[in-house]
Amino acid sequence: VLLGTDGPRVIDFGIARAADTTALTRTGVTAGTPAFMAPEQAMAQPVTPAADIFALGLIAVFVTAGSPPFGDGSSPAVLYRIVHEEPDLSGVPAELREVVTRCLAKNPADRPSPAEVVRMCRPLTDGAPLPAEGWLPPAVSAEIDQHARTVTSLAAQPAASFGPPPRPAAFPTAASAAPAHTPPGGQGPQTRGRGRNVLLAAVAVVAVLAGVGIGAMLMSGGGDEGPGTDDSAGDGTSRTPTGSDPTPDDEETGSSPPETPAETTPEAPAEPEPAVYEDLSISHGYIIWLYEDPPRPVDSEIGPGYEGDFGYLGSDLILDPHLLTDDDNTMALLRQDETGSLDTCRSVTRYTDRLFIQEEAPPGSEICLTTATGDIGLVTVKEFTPEYVTIDLTVWRGAAQ
């Protein structure tokens, strides 16, 4: 559902994919956007059209109050509140609360049908058309206006002018060093926003096409001066003395040119030493960072699924106990025929961002971790309970850089 100042739009389902949508399709997990899932979806129970009514209630709260009824945070935390807690309807207008409350009933059988929703909402509209302005909460409307101003102001800016490229210089000989590339100008500040990036890409394409056209004209002699009129270019070659060419001094004295020293092959950098940590216990909701020495579990306020190199979620949750890593890292479960080592962790590519202990990573399993900061870790699961997991950890710091 796309919210605009002139009303809502139901867009194509193929592009309606949020950044926090899970791609997992294993036992105990249902694909969907957590903030708009019904309790039965969160608990992997059979889903009926009543789940759409629950989602409609969630959208109605967001549109009228400007915030989701079950708050923000990690996906497990939001799903837990959807199943066990009541929605926050304090920002919903009084005349809509009865409709929204029924739509957000925990039991699917208690939710109204689509026809009932229409009947309950019709008296509230009096048949009047949707207002063109002022129907959204101030916070949502302000965000939409800000994006619109950004795109409009960028589109109104004049396109940059591009002068003719310099005439091609003489081709260097093999002994000449290649000139370093110098960008035509300083890079401007990066601006966030999909619309701005699209416009900038369009401007860049126009610039490239213009440069190609001018370059082709000059190369074909269409300009005032051809590429071969520069006196400094000469015959298009340059000669640089080499070790085999005699210099004037050599000719007079008869001395031989100095010998060129033999090339030496640089030594490969040494592999980092592994740091081993045994019997490391990580409590439910805690995370560790591989760059710390030693790694110390810390409480994660927003959930290990969004921060931390390695974390554990075990008890008091809808999902089964599982291990997680940050979205910027990679995690891979090793097969029984694979030996846990630095070379193995560098080569394995069966990446995931979470592993369910009971089904996928029971005690004895080995897991490779590669962090965004360049560290590689090997995790060996030793034991787990709903309250904590115990692991052995080997870390090669900087091994992925």
Residue 383's Cβ-count burial label (10 Å; 0-12, 13-18, 19+) is middle
Is 160 in contact with 207 (CB distance < 8 Å)?
Answer: yes
Cis peptide before 294 (omega within 30 of 0): yes
* 192 falls within a domain: no
The CATH number assigned to the domain holding 117 equals 1.10.510.10
Least confident interval from 187-196, 264-273, 373-382: 187-196
Q: What is the pLDDT of residue 328?
A: 85
The 8-class DSSP code of residue 217 comes to H
The 8-class DSSP code of residue 381 comes to E
- Residue range 212-229, pLDDT digits in tens: 343 434 344 444 444 444
Is 159 in contact with 19 (CB distance < 8 Å)?
Answer: no
* 243 falls within a domain: no
* 260 falls within a domain: no
pTM (predicted TM-score): 0.39
Q: What is the pLDDT of residue 16?
A: 43
The residue assigned the tokens 């997680």 is: 324
* 227 falls within a domain: no
Among 97, 125, 153, which residue terminates a domain? Answer: 125
Select the more confidently predicted residue: 68 or 162.
68
* 160 falls within a domain: no
- Residue range 225-235, pLDDT digits in tens: 444 444 444 44
Tell me how many degrees the CA angle 16-72-147 measures, rounded to the nearest 5: 55
- Residue range 333-384, pLDDT digits in tens: 999 899 999 999 999 999 888 888 878 888 999 999 999 889 999 999 999 8
Indicate the pairing of strand 322-324 with strand 310-313.
antiparallel
- Residue range 20-70, pLDDT digits in tens: 444 444 444 445 577 889 999 888 888 999 999 999 999 999 888 888 899
Between CA 375 and CA 164 the distance in angstroms is: 47
Q: What is the pLDDT of residue 334?
A: 94
Count of domains for the chain = 2
pLDDT at 276 over 90: yes
Tell me how many degrees the CA angle 27-319-289 measures, rounded to the nearest 5: 115
- Residue range 284-328, pLDDT digits in tens: 888 999 999 999 998 876 444 457 899 988 865 566 788 988 888
Paired tokens of 364: 């004895």
* 319 falls within a domain: yes
User: In the chain, what percentage of residues exceed pLDDT 90?
Assistant: 29
Select the more confidently predicted residue: 189 or 398.
398
* 34 falls within a domain: yes
Q: Within a 10 A sphere around the Cβ of 315, how many other Cβ atoms?
A: 13
Between CA 76 and CA 304 the distance in angstroms is: 10
**Which residues constitute the domain of residue 97?**
2-125
- Residue range 87-127, pLDDT digits in tens: 999 999 999 999 999 999 999 999 999 999 989 888 877 66
Among 98, 125, 152, which residue terminates a domain? Answer: 125
Among 125, 150, 168, which residue terminates a domain? Answer: 125
* 103 falls within a domain: yes
